[in-house]
Amino acid sequence: MSGSTRTRKVVVTQRFFDTATCEFLAAHHCETIIAELPPGKGDGDLPETALQDLLADADGWIVGHAHVTDSLLRVLPRLQVIARRGVGYERVDVEAVRRHGKVATIAVGGNDACVADHALALMLAVAHRLREGQARLGAGDWSIPMGTDLYRKTVGIVGLGRIGRGVVQRLRGFEAHILVCTPTPDEAYGRANGIRYTDLDTLLHESDIVSLHAPLTPETRFIINAAAIEKMKPSAIVINTARGGLVDDRALLAALELGRLRGVGLDVFVSESDPYYRDVSSALIALPQVVATPHSGASTVEGLDRTNLIAAQSIVDVLSGATPATARVVADGRTLPNQHNKGET
């Protein structure tokens, strides 16, 4: 690497890191160190001091949900690259990455298919009341909870990135009527796939199912709030496999308790980043018309293998002095003067 074959240390603070990716890293002169995480905890639950200890000698870091902060990077001068095993990077301080002369990447293309599958699974599970049916059977009650079709329903998709497009492709098999709200409509794609672009209010008013696939930004935070829910049909279903902050879960809970929505499928929660909402998450999960999963949409064997390898490829690229594919790079401070000592006291 850069004329040297010395072994570089790559620390992985995620579970389910496959052997083939470890072998790929080894073939490129990288030693893989997989951190031991506390039972039931992820790297996002580790205090910064623990991360400092784990990463003290790391050249590369494959990270899950830990916060990548200025104060952490400041004490890790050897660390060159931070590779997210995923595509969201709201917990990465990209300006700090640049300031400290490091590179941050995401695993674009690794989990698109499995998250799109998961969104469809939640749509079907909520529409067919699968949770309620199994609960009744478990109680010895064989009465039938009456569901509703996904077939030929109107589905509104908020955000049309890679996962949103994957959901579109899957919905075509259900002959769904697809509405899309996105800031940058691709008219050719819309014509080819029979979708109709519209504003958010129209989408909320007309949709039988609203599925969220937008990034979390200040503009999209709580895009589904009490006012938005009031515009929806009482028979509507909300699906969120994107980011918890897109939906005000407190407003969602109130609407479900009042019968203002048919049901909800959630893979993400506000409480993942805001402890104030933990009681709200617990109340949502307890409702029979809610199908909830623990942010597991991207966690299939195949999906994790793909994202592991993409993250590892980005690590190898950076440590060898190359640049990862443009779509994978969210911050590259190598072209800037290293400023991490400026202004420090």
Q: Looking at 272, 306, 328, 340, which residue is catalytic? A: 272
Listed residue (113, 91, 223, 122) closest to 170, CA to CA: 113
C-alpha 249/C-alpha 255 separation (Å) is 10
Active site residue 8: no
List, in sequence order, every residue forming a beta bridge with 62; answer none if it has no partner.
Answer: 12, 83
The total of other beta-carbon atoms located within 10 Å of residue 4's CB is 9
Active site residue 36: no
* Residue-wise DSSP of 104-133: EE--TTSSHHHHHHHHHHHHHHHHTTHHHH
Long-range contacts of 70-76 (CB under 8 A, 24+ apart): 70/96, 70/99, 70/100, 72/48, 73/97, 73/100, 73/102, 73/340, 74/100, 74/340, 74/344, 76/52
C-alpha 82/C-alpha 331 separation (Å) is 10
Angle (CA) 300-302-305 rounded to 5° is: 105
* DSSP type of residue 59: S
Strand order in the sheet with 177-181: 195-197, 177-181, 154-158, 209-212, 237-240, 263-266, 290-292
Q: Looking at 165, 295, 306, 340, which residue is catalytic? A: 295
- Given a contact cutoff of 8 angstroms between Cβ atoms, the answer to whether 243 and 218 are in contact is no
For 151, the enclosing helix (H) or strand (E) is: none
C-alpha 40/C-alpha 82 separation (Å) is 23
For 209, the enclosing helix (H) or strand (E) is: strand 209-212
Q: Looking at 243, 306, 328, 340, which residue is catalytic? A: 243
Active site residue 165: no
Catalytic residues: 243, 272, 295
